[in-house]
Chains A and B, each alone.
Chain A
Amino acid sequence: MTAALARPELGTTVLELRSRLAAITEAPAIDVRALGTGVAALDAVLARGGVPCGRLTELIGARGGGKTTLLRHLVRATVARGLWVAYVDAARTLAPRDWAAAAAARGAEPVLWMIRPERAARAAWCAELLLRSGAFALVVLDGAPPLASAAAVRLARLAREGGAAFVVAAEDDASAAALGGALRLRVARGSRTVKVTVEKGGRRRTVEVDHARTVAHRVCAHPEVPDRRGVARPRAARDGEHAAAARAAAVVAPARRERAARVPAAAVG
């Protein structure tokens, strides 16, 4: 092989082949060391450019702080790469409508599974089984009782062996204290944003993630007229109706117009 490369004509051929192979294999270079969170500004400040694979990640924040919104970004980004996700909803409070779009991202191919144990105490066992299978790229443990140190170590070891990103969402520091995760994100509620602070596993920065605010499509000010709705219609058919409703709201209840806002993009603070 060395002799062949020394000959100019053969060397050119090998170089050509190499460049052609590179052209084929260059396209999307996927970093298997981390899963993107779906928020570019956050990925930019994380050590590996995302949630690390084979490691435990702690996501801490009070109820209503925005943990689940951030988790949905992460799940959607993972599913979009064709990787499988298992989400243990120990509190059994997730609403299916918010996750249907993520689950359907790959068509009929099932890529997102929700595990909803009757007893929250079994959630850690569920996560253990899922991590042990080695089939899921991302396993989320959400709303489980605080993990004991031994259990956390065991789960972290299984995540390392299976190469899965393992995310534990907890409400308080006490729940997360024993975990010893490679990455710790603290989530807090801002004014129409979710503030994510990287406490471990990246540059210590706070990233504000804006999210769209869904509002009522029709506001009926008359106390006796209920807002009867039919089946979903295409966007064009509803736009005129929304405009009419907005005009009515402007006349009848100006204070309510502020809800019709959709906040874009993300900003780094």
Chain B
Amino acid sequence: MALVDGTRVRAVSSAAARAGARTGMTEQAARGRVPAFEALAWDAAAIAQAITETTALLLAASPQVSPAPEEPGLWWIGAGGMSEQPLARDLLALARGWHPRARVAIADSCVAARAATWSARGAAAHIIPCRGDAAYLSPAPLSLLPMAEEMRSTLEALGLRTAGALAALSSEDVERRWGAGGLAAWRYARGEDARRPVLVPVATPHAVSAELAAPAETMEPILFLVRAALERLAPALAREGRAAAAIAITLVLDDARGALPTDMIGAAAHTVTREVRFPRPVARAAPLFDHCRALLARWPLTAPACGVTVAVAATAPASAAQGDLLAPRWQDPAAADAALARLRAELGPRSVVRPVALDAHAPERAGAWSEALYPDAAMRAREPAPGSEWPALAPDGPVLRLLEAPEEVAMEFDGERPCALWWRGERITLVRATGPERLSGDWWSDPYRREYWRGESLRGEMLVFAERGKWFVQGWYD
């Protein structure tokens, strides 16, 4: 059985779908595939009436109910601030009064919720954990993501059949091939969906575009435009009580693609979009600009840029940190985030770090520099156990400064004790040498077996060790 609108099939029953009938087919083609094809006329008025009645029914469960446009039978329902399990149960009970096999899914994004209602994995009511949309969508077939048919078929021809495979592609490559539509599909695949199940007033999109007077080969002119754009966008966001969670910068490249005739492939201007996501939402221009500047700093221009668009890709409710009237000074976390992001962009990886102690004895292995804001599980597993007396954490001892790699030295001895060493062309007399402290370990990965001495000289205390008959300076205490 199917509903036919004119000559086209608009909806098919599951039995007809199993036999090969598809929406969008002509009625004749469907009859060719399904011998017992039964066509009913698409009654727009009756369907609209049914949608209205069902919407009214669902309003008993949530105040935010929106029928999905162009998709009769699908509703977006706001679940914010509500208990998810009871809501799913109530919605399912209401919907089953209307259809025996109704399905309900709750997710962070519309795209994941819709996919969950169609997924064979899902029960009648399925709840995707918070921040779990990307992981949930990863094995989902591409047919569950909204995208152009040409893009879907091309991806499948390339062997990319899941949302996870699409999400793993570079956004730049996707945009270059399929433009803005492809970029939107790529974002859906990552569980990023700006659609919200609420009836919101149509607002102007938070985006500012500008063209450069002459194509720019460096980022300097673009920075000026980005700053001006952010100075317009930030107050607009603040007026709405929102803050930017992500900013997308699109550069229009002047590589002659835009000059091609419009009927040729790739006639649209060559645009490249990159996004920056913030550790915490910001609605002030200065930190936003610092983040964008960090993004632009590591963005090589492959062709001169002739235009730029700055858009707020994601927003969040503006929630300022609670200050303290009596606090000695207020520390602006957004400013700190922005400064550190800029340093990371300019200095490269492993330049902005936090010290972490590790469960090891060799001086260079007893700690690590962690780039993460918070140490991950693997790093935590290597930290010393709480309550253990750990020599590395002795808070009052002299501070060790380690050379990046131990430097070989020539050592002089008084009997068995080191008494002087030659380092960097200089003879350093050791007034006192204490040791040896024999350390060995890590035989399972990177074995070492050393004899450590601490040599006190007039110029400080050196940390030296002997290994395989050679002597090395590893650092000094300062």
Q: Which chain A residues lie closer than 8 Å to B338 at the CB level?
A: 133
Q: Which chain B residues lie closer than 8 Å to A72 at the CB level?
A: 399
Pick from A98, A219, A233: contact of B437, CB under 8 Å: A219
Pick from B329, B395, B440: contact of A32, CB under 8 Å: B329
Pick from A114, A129, A130: contact of B369, CB under 8 Å: A114
Contact with B along A91-125 (1 / 0, CB 8 A): 11111111111110000101011111110001000
Contact A98–B352 (Cβ < 8 Å): no
| A214 with B397, Cβ < 8 A, contacts A95-B402, A110-B373, A129-B339 known | yes
Give bound CA distance, A130 to B399, whole Å: 24
> Is B425 interfacial (CB-CB < 8 Å)?
no
Number of A-B contacts (CB under 8 A): 211
Contact A97–B326 (Cβ < 8 Å): no
Give the shortest distance, in Å, between B458 (CB) and chain A (any CB). Answer: 8
Contact A98–B459 (Cβ < 8 Å): no
Contact A134–B332 (Cβ < 8 Å): yes
Q: Which residue of B lies closest to A105 (CB)?
A: B395
Among A8-16, A63-71, A199-207, the stretch that binds chain B is: A63-71
> Is B445 interfacial (CB-CB < 8 Å)?
no
Number of interface residues of A (CB under 8 A): 76
Interface majority SS on A: helix, strand, loop or mixed? Answer: loop
> Is A212 interfacial (CB-CB < 8 Å)?
yes
Contact with A along B398-410 (1 / 0, CB 8 A): 1111111000000
Give the shortest distance, in Å, between A51 (CB) and chain B (any CB). Answer: 14
Contact B359–A232 (Cβ < 8 Å): yes
> Is B461 interfacial (CB-CB < 8 Å)?
yes
Write the residues of chain B forming the contact surface with A, with a CB cutoff of 8 angstroms.
Answer: 290, 326, 328-329, 331-333, 335-336, 338-340, 342-343, 346-348, 350-359, 361, 363-364, 366-369, 373-374, 384-385, 387-404, 434-441, 449, 452, 457, 459-462, 475-478
Write the residues of chain A forming the contact surface with B, with a CB cutoff of 8 angstroms.
Answer: 25, 30-32, 62-69, 71-72, 76, 81, 83-84, 91-103, 108, 110, 112-118, 122, 126, 129-130, 132-137, 163, 189, 211-220, 225-229, 231-235, 238, 256, 258-259
Q: Sorted from nearest, which 6 A-B pairs have the closest CB atoms? A: A64-B460, A96-B367, A97-B367, A100-B357, A216-B437, A135-B336
A sample of 7 more A-B contacts (CB under 8 A), given A134-B332, A136-B336, A216-B452, is A63-B459, A95-B402, A96-B353, A96-B355, A126-B347, A215-B434, A226-B449
